[in-house]
Structure 1
């Protein structure tokens, strides 16, 4: 089989004012070099579309573990690919499946150390594209869920939230509550993924809904949204509650903001008097997490205790549209472009 000599790549054409749309990106065919010594040629099968790209292209955030994306730069993110060519004696062979962070293209050449092999018996390889490790890390490292806890997951219908509610239950939570913008998604979360209650901000005051869903208060919060939802969660926390701040969707979904902030008003007196802990989660602080997550994810998928919901998108040409759909709320679970 002849190896590909070109690759289709998605690049940022212009920095958007407001939410990004398809017109802010280009999809172009570009030369693909032959692999050199120690390099691997991979054809991508799928890649993840994730809301954090808004932050990377917005030009606001500083101190991020990932590089910013400017006009002319290629987009990137978690991807699943198949090895087409690899050096003799190296860790990879043609036909191996690998994950890496060079999505938003259909093929690439890079050093073998850029790729993580997928075990041959892994039950659902696309699930490795999920960013569910953030929810798992929040529940095991930052907010340490305990048997019997009442857990709130804000932004529960996205790639992280759809897994985090299930994980909270597997780790011992007695009651799991979520939030989402859509009544239809709220129903899916309770019917399909085991959430006990899902609140829809804007339908009624969120504090009122949360008081009904958790009348004795919250023990654990995994916050993916920030803003008003984080404010309300702190107000509903009970003594000793642990709050893990994982994301800032309120800022990323707001066309009036550049995507790198999600301000919230926090009652410092309540944090003090109730002994609350509020801490940000980032995977770079936990280098041991990824291997542990992959092992447990495979076991839970294999046993049927965990499901991986995702929205498929056909073809790289539709990838810019898929990113725009994240911000309008037209997807459920992870959004994955299939190549």
Structure 2
């Protein structure tokens, strides 16, 4: 039987991975940055961020919690697929997971990536990682098909809306008095120019802001890691806070890490540490809302995206102007060739 006609027999959670102790940090970062034009001093700086938190990233534990929540959600909904988990950069690594799936007799899996905005690093690179893992496993490695991007699925948007609404209530002011900064991981402009990352982020931010009746909002970025000569998406979240405060437009601030579906080190360091310290220094009352994590609506969204590929339900839900994203990525989708900065004279 051709691979595309095989029934789905498993579910694969695909994620970034993170260190789970001090000794893991440098090997993990070497995996992340291998082949990338990132200065050594930047890698050491990021390593120090991890060490401030005991060398442990929150992402692996959050993925374990997501797997538990998905198992319960699948069981309630009659989705009879075993769940596997493979990471790009740290245990459990994708080649090991696909090898286990092969040994368990899995032939074709549905995958959910813990990145729901289109970019090279958030989609195409994961697909390349899966292909490399399949090549390593060899004959009999399972086929893997990913679900569509969920950036405008009501389950995601409503999850973020609930968190922002709660933050507004905590601040105890009207929406006219609030500034909302939606944040996402910055990427090189040469990557952003060949994907729909910014368009999708703007759409998701617009949908959330509209649902909570907030007009004072901006999309900003965080966690850039390239050399200073290389242009990346801007403005940086802390630069934006300073600029808005200097212009007298910032008293109450809500930061929404809309580009992340779970807490990464970038979220807890860049927002809960750096941005929070800046706001405290400037007398700005700030709330950072939670990432979706294992919120029920988000977990239900993942289950629904899986059921789409299984044929039930037939309706592909999405809100806003862009409609449901494609199931199968076009050949030229999210291409990226890193550009080396010009040598200084």
TM-score interval, normalised by the smaller of the two chains: 0.3 to 0.5
Greater fraction helix: 2
